[in-house]
Amino acid sequence: MTTPLAAVTDLKVHFPIKKGILARTVGYVYAVDGISFEIMPGETVGIVGESGCGKTTAGMAMVQLTPITSGTVQWKGRDIAAMNRSGLRALRREMQLIFQDPYSSLNPRMTVRQILSDPMDVHDMFTGRQRKERIDFLLDTVGLSPGQADLYPHEFSGGQRQRIGIARALALDPTLIIGDEPVSALDVSIQAQIINLLKRLKRNFNLSLIIISHDLAVVEYICDRIIVMYLGKIVEAADYASLYKDPKHPYTKTLMSAIPVPDPARRTRRIILKGDVPSPIDPPGGCRFHTRCPDRMDICDKQEPAMQRFNDGHTAACHLYNNTYADHSHATPNHMSTPTKGDNP
């Protein structure tokens, strides 16, 4: 049996809210509230959900850029919270990040050569001629010219800047790359180029990838397995084929219905949710989705659903699949509808 590259177990990240002159803690933002998943070698995993669901916080916690409140993140069997400074330094060489905004994530006062040299300086890698050859190789790998190494970020387009960010993530030969919305700030035509680049790099460098996104169409194209989050919790997880063929959780079905279909002859039924996303400061009891769920039952606001396992490792946390409570005579009416002009997306 293959050992997981990374294993997240009951991970919680709560941010304290402080008020007053004495900065007393008056509450918490429950950004991530008990999630568990694994990343296998060579696997691409997508983490999807609305803004504020905790997907980016989970990714940052995996590399200790955000402190963990409780739970564990293991890297090759080692608990990263128990690592000393030198251990974390070695870990970050193996786990690299691609940031969402290619404009603010690159230092405008540094040339591309300096940007790519920076991680090599920190980790004492590739000196002299080796470094120049490494930088030329990285730029060529991501589709840029080695002759552009002495240019500044403002001299590149958004797509080119993201390629520089990808080259920086590759600089230290990592094992896992976490992409935090790596294409959301780019034009649609450029998004496809960057996604195809990531797929090629995964194959050529034997990488594992975590793609954090709100766009299910993007993660379908690149990911082997998809994790769906809502308000700090995982509500469904499955391989991409199973998830798109047979989504289980009502929230996943809602996200699926928002995917544009490039065929004017096909009309898809759009699910419109009522109400706003609850605050992560005071999340609702029971199932966190029950305040907006079109299939809500009496039990949903009283008891948090357990994760149910289906065929081929497909899992979902929903009372609809619990035989004890799945009595649809108690369900509220389904509010799914086809949107008309003027409906909010």
pLDDT at 330 over 90: no
- Neighbouring residues of 323: CB distance < 8 A, sequence distance ≥ 6: none
pTM above 0.75, yes or no: yes
State yes or no: pLDDT of 328 exceeds 70. no
pLDDT score of 259:
79
Contact criterion met (CB below 8 Å) for 83 and 262: no
Determine the 3-state secondary structure of 207 from DSSP.
Answer: coil
Residue 342 binned pLDDT confidence (cut-offs 50, 70, 90): very low
Least confident of 41-50, 162-171, 259-268, 336-345: 336-345
Each residue's pLDDT tens digit, 39-61: 999 999 999 999 889 999 999 99
- Please tell me the predicted confidence (pLDDT) of residue 99: 93
Would you state the pLDDT for residue 252? Answer: 95
| 302 φ/ψ sector (left φ>0, alpha ψ -120 to 50, else beta) | alpha
Lowest mean pLDDT segment, chosen from 16-20, 57-61, 88-92, 151-155: 88-92
- What's the pLDDT tens digit per position in 162-217? 999 999 999 999 999 999 999 988 888 899 999 999 999 999 999 999 999 988 88
Evaluate if residue 300 carries a pLDDT over 60.
yes
Predicted local confidence at residue 1, as pLDDT? 65
Q: How much is the average pLDDT of 320-343?
A: 47
Q: Which residues, at least 6 apart from 341, have a Cβ–Cβ distance to it below 8 Å?
A: none
Q: Which helix (H) or strand (E) holds 28?
A: strand 24-39
